[in-house]
Amino acid sequence: MIDLHLLRAEPESVMARLATRGVAREDIEALLALDVTHRELLQRQEQLRAEVKSLSKQVGEARKRQETALADELMTKSRDLGDAERVAAQEAEEVGQQVRHALLMIPNLPSSDAPIGASEDDNVIGEHWWPGKDAGQPVPEFSEAQRKPHWEIGEELGILDLERGSRIAGSMFPLFRGAGSRLLRALGAYALDAHSDAFEEVRPPTFALTETLLSTGHLPKFSDEAYLMERDDLWAIPTAEVPLTSMHRGEILSEDELPVRFTAQTACFRREAGAAGRDTRGLLRVHEFDKVELFAYCTPEQAESVHQDVLARAEQLLRDLGLYYRVLDLCTGDIGASSARTFDLEVYSPGVDRWLEVSSVSWFSDYQARRANVRYRSADGGSPRFVHTVNGSALAWARIWAVLVEQGRQDDGRVELPEVLAPYLGGRLTIEPKA
């Protein structure tokens, strides 16, 4: 969540920055008014508590002097003030909860480097990369064979069975088979190995507590997008970012430990509630998919370099896989609610003639750390400070799988896969058509 002390000290500046994200001024003013009320109630509670304490002392002194009538009078007054204190405490608690809920609903302050804009139409399209670019070769032209959509290729080769996936779990739950399943497994193993030089591999739980999703900002704002098991009060994770952010929840780290880096491959679950009838063919938008995530806790001073490192790692995977991609610098109106700065990576899908997002790399400043209460103690001492968090997909596999089988399709129907995957596919880089 945003820093309430900063909001109190610089309300106009904070409101101006949040306005670029579409946050209404009156919402922030309402929060500030609630905060004033909360502090006044806390002061009244403390004042009443002090009076009760003083009266209790006076009652004791009156009893020592055997002034029974005065002691009884003071005792009655003390009880009345005690009742008033309890009412004030309850009111303060209720308003405090309202302040917290309002804070949980407000998005992060955007970085001053993020482009200002209202929607995805204002995102800044940056670098494009394609196989052969470094050698000066022009943008690739795709053959007619590569223009076939992946869901048709998958059915033709027997490696993607959407019909049976739907029969088992409903629409938008894909079922991979044979070489298609092995390709998915190979991609995950390849990426985890690629990051093992600097990131500790973690296998977190697939389900998480409400507090865990609150820590990343997925709750309460995006509850409609998540799968909840009400009986157990557990949520299916939408990304490994969720459990990784809470790895050190409530802890104080040492500055010399930072940055702390984790990587994990998990299944990810999303309702895609707002996607009815849109992009629902094949693997363009699914309810369950595998993804390798990169995550780091760091100091504010380390944040930019850590952010760039995660972005570079995701890009390197795309280059090693030989995929045509571009980088988008997301504007203030399109970045996720918890993010201060986000770069998206999109690969070109020749089968559907579209750019598909396969990675989102974000710096969250201290927004998530405030919610998760993850701090660090500076080497110079002083009060603990909140860490910054960075995370990015490297990579999300459903769309990568789709583009690989489209781009690798040959005129005779077989699919050729990238050489970098050979160690994970037993050296078999060709998926042959069914006899």
Has residue 111 been placed in a domain? Answer: no
Enclosing domain of residue 11: 4-105
pLDDT of the residue at 59 = 81
- For residues 27 and 156, state if they share a domain: no
- What Å distances lie between residue 43 and 46, 94, 98, 380, CA to CA? 5, 15, 17, 34
The residue among 74, 105, 136 that closes a domain is 105
- For residues 212 and 282, state if they share a domain: yes
First vs last C-alpha separation in the chain: 57
Q: What's the whole-number mean pLDDT along residues 100-109?
A: 96
Q: Worst-scoring range by mean pLDDT, 40-54, 183-197, 406-420?
A: 40-54
Domain count, the chain: 2
- For residues 72 and 135, state if they share a domain: no
| Cα–Cα distance for residue pair 296/198, rounded to 1 Å | 10
pLDDT of the residue at 73 = 85
pLDDT of the residue at 276 = 57
Each residue of 354-408: pLDDT tens digit?
Answer: 999 999 999 999 999 999 999 999 988 889 999 999 999 999 999 999 999 999 9
Q: Are 190 and 237 in contact (CB under 8 A)?
A: no
Nearest of 339, 369, 368 to residue 252 by alpha carbon: 369
Cβ neighbours around 161 below 10 Å, total: 18
**pTM for this entry:** 0.93
Q: Are 371 and 215 in contact (CB under 8 A)?
A: yes
The residue among 81, 105, 129 that closes a domain is 105
Q: What are phi and psi of 80, to 5 degrees?
A: -60, -45
| Cα–Cα distance for residue pair 420/322, rounded to 1 Å | 9
Q: Which are the contacts of 293, defined by CB distance < 8 A and separation ≥ 6? A: 239, 240, 241, 244, 263, 264, 265, 266, 391, 392, 393, 394
| Cα–Cα distance for residue pair 153/171, rounded to 1 Å | 19
Q: What's the whole-number mean pLDDT along residues 266-278?
A: 80
Average pLDDT of the chain, as a whole number: 95
Q: Are 172 and 272 in contact (CB under 8 A)?
A: yes
- For residues 87 and 155, state if they share a domain: no
CATH number of the domain bearing residue 11: 1.10.287.40
Has residue 114 been placed in a domain? Answer: no
- For residues 9 and 153, state if they share a domain: no
The residue among 105, 135, 165 that closes a domain is 105
